[in-house]
Amino acid sequence: MGGDAPSLWLADRSELVLTPGKAHRLYRLESGLVRLYTLDDAGLGVTLRFVKRGGVFGEEALTGRPRRYFAEAMAPSVIEVLDPASMGDAELRALVTTLAAALDDVGMAMHRTATKQLAPRIAALILELADSDLATRDSDGLPVVRITHHQIAMAAGSVRETATKAIGDLARLGAIYVGYRKVTVRDERLLREAAGDD
């Protein structure tokens, strides 16, 4: 990279942008939404974290370790390739904060995965996505997440049939509306309670 202008990478919705293997580059998401995940023994996705606008991924390049995860664009995304060697003090401080927040995100996801209940995990997932570039607002100002039950199941490490039941539970609770290829946050407070957030 050296003194070149930052290089930008445009990813389509559902595009696989990184796969496990040798890691060389650090990336910052200018806009869009990226999911980092591994696959369990049954081939189900284990979501490590979501990278939102301003977030960083590919940090394993800084450690010399291989990348262990897949990265998928969940919305059309603009990705900037960073050169850590040329970062100044302010950029390094911002990177430290971003990585610290990512650690907190993964820690929360791990806690939810260990508690093994699907509905709280899906509630947390919808809250997370409602606060991302995947979400729009409906005419009442409610956040609408454009996602299928299959995608929700994959992101929550489950299968569609089971996820659909949990999504139905959240809808009956009054926390969300479920539409065709979309979920609307009807009552954020209820959804946070369902997610078990403090």
Q: Which residues would be at the binding site for a second copy (CB under 8 A)?
A: 36, 38, 40-41, 46, 48, 59-60, 62-63, 65-66, 68-69, 84, 89, 92-93, 95-97, 99-104, 106-111, 113-115, 117, 157, 198
Contact 135, 144 (CB under 8 A): yes
- Beta carbon nearer to a second copy, 109 or 175: 109
CA 160 to chain centre: 19
Residues ≥6 apart with Cβ < 8 Å to 104: none
Angle at 99 between CA 40 and CA 76, to 5 degrees: 65
CA 176 to chain centre: 19
Alpha-carbon gap, residue 97 to 93, rounded angstroms: 6
